[in-house]
Homo-oligomer: A and B are copies of this chain.
Amino acid sequence: MTCNDVRVKVLHYIKDKSLIESGERILVAVSGGPDSMLLMHILNGYKSELNISLVCCHVNHQLRDVASNRDELFVRNVCRQIGVPFVSKRINVSALSKEKHISIEDAARQLRLGALYDIAEERKCQKIGVGHTSDDTMETFILNILRGTGRKGLSGIHPKRGKFIHPLLCLKKREVLHYLKNHHIDYQIDVTNWRSDNRRNFIRRELVPLIEKKFNKRVKDNILQLIKIIIDEEDLLSTLTGKTLEGLQKERDEGIVFDRDSIKALHPAIQRRILIRSFEKLAGEMRLNFKEIEALRTAIISDCSGMVFPYHGIIFLIGANSILVRVESRKKEVREDIHACLSIPGSIRFQNRYLIKTTVLEQINGNIDSRDCVYYDLDLIQQPLIIRTRNNGDTFIPFGMHQKKKVKEFFIDAKVPFWERDEIPIIADEKGILWIAGLRRADSAKVRKDTERILKIEKRYIG
């Protein structure tokens, strides 16, 4: 591998993976260590050929006092020499770590990514270049296995993700070092960067060397081959999940709704991925762990229903026929006014979702079969008219029947998912339930030939 090969490899990789478009401005994250120094030199060398401009950014983690500042100064000086605009940003890792009770590594990661995003924004950079090599992807792979990952975590570092690009993933660490040596490019060692995580250091400095010594020398290459296979298979599984999801989910006001039988019929591998995807769609940064997914999946494929699984602010509700995934806080908002009086004539907004309107007529003026409109003999109604949601023990005589029925049983028979049952408006007078709005009216207060004043009640969904 000559130095020329290294440059050609990187350039080829940038083109092959479409990492950079002509005319873009690239923010290069430079710690001062070998990888990021190489990245800056190569991008700077090809800047006319790629038709790009560069800005160098150094994030000072301030974790090692003098040494941190020395790294910053080092990068600043190099940039001045090679004529690349330089920006630095200091972040207070220790403070965030204490404040949020997270590890130094996690705090550093959050602040560093935030700083890079902000500077890219300020400096109008379309991409952020980071100097990860294939050694990093291999270490990430081992790290993810050891700390417990799903399959996705096995696919290592991606060549691009959002604004971030990793043009050196095609290189090995030793190629980087060889190139820097041959080109007399200086770098700092032991810089504070994203790879200063103790667990990662353990993998790099103890685990991998031990395996190479005792097991076989080719272990890095073996893992990189496996990652290539996994990346493609992950892409296939992900595409497959996406297509399946598209056909299955119904995005509703209340969240994502699935038909339970359709989920049951899927392959377990796809079931897992669909649950994870639905969760991540609503939960953002949070992740479900394996035990949570399996508990959920086992519940779904079981015969039970009416189960509620709250995870990290997201709720999965498993009804007899459907599954609802929604954000936890929604529920509380909705349930604020669940009991109100209805004036006649008049109208009322109920739970911010329905408009209920009453009018008094002399004659029926619409379709009596409508689900969203019912007529009563007003003189048979014992006011006040109440609108509310269901109560425990509610019963009514459904229209055309003679026997009382529990509202709960009615909901079950009508296949109303349990999470919707508490939101359906019920209209009642002093004598009892008149209408389970939109679903079934009671047998009482029917309009007869000699009815003089007709009460019309309408329900409209206003989402």
Binding site for B on A (CB under 8 A): 145-151, 154, 199, 202, 206-207, 210-211, 214-216, 218-219, 221-223, 225-226, 228-230, 232-233, 235-237, 239-240, 267-270, 272, 290-291
Contact = CB atoms under 8 A, between A and B. Distances in A.
A198 to B, nearest CB: 9
Nearest to A271: B232
A85 B194 CA distance: 62
A216 to B, nearest CB: 7
Contact of A235 (B151, B216, B269): B269
A138 to B, nearest CB: 11
Given A146-B211, A240-B240, 13 more contacts: A145-B223, A146-B216, A147-B215, A147-B222, A148-B222, A151-B230, A151-B233, A199-B215, A206-B210, A225-B290, A229-B290, A232-B272, A236-B270
Contacts of A218: 148
Contacts of A146: 211, 215-216, 219, 222-223
A226 B147 contact: no
Nearest to A144: B226
Binding site of A, secondary structure by majority: helix, strand, loop or mixed? Answer: helix
Contacts of A207: 207, 210-211
A218 B145 CA distance: 11
A165 B218 CA distance: 33
Q: Which 10 A-B pairs have the closest CB atoms?
A: A148-B222, A232-B269, A236-B269, A233-B269, A225-B290, A232-B268, A236-B267, A202-B214, A146-B215, A146-B219
A150 B272 contact: no
A210 B203 CA distance: 11
A461 to B, nearest CB: 40
Nearest to A153: B226
Contacts of A228: 290
Nearest to A199: B215
Task: Choose among A219, A229, A230, A268 the residue with the greatest number of B CB atoms under 10 Å from its CB.
Answer: A229
B151 A229 contact: yes
A431 to B, nearest CB: 56
Contacts of A223: 145-146
Nearest to A232: B269
Contacts of A154: 226
Contact of A226 (B149, B199, B222, B225): B149
A214 B207 CA distance: 10
A158 to B, nearest CB: 16
B235 A237 contact: no
A211 B235 CA distance: 30
Nearest to A215: B146
Contacts of A232: 267-269, 272
B272 A229 contact: yes
Nearest to A225: B290
Contacts of A235: 267, 269
Contact of A214 (B150, B206, B216, B222): B206
Contacts of A148: 218, 221-222, 225-226
Contacts of A151: 226, 229-230, 233
Contacts of A211: 146, 207
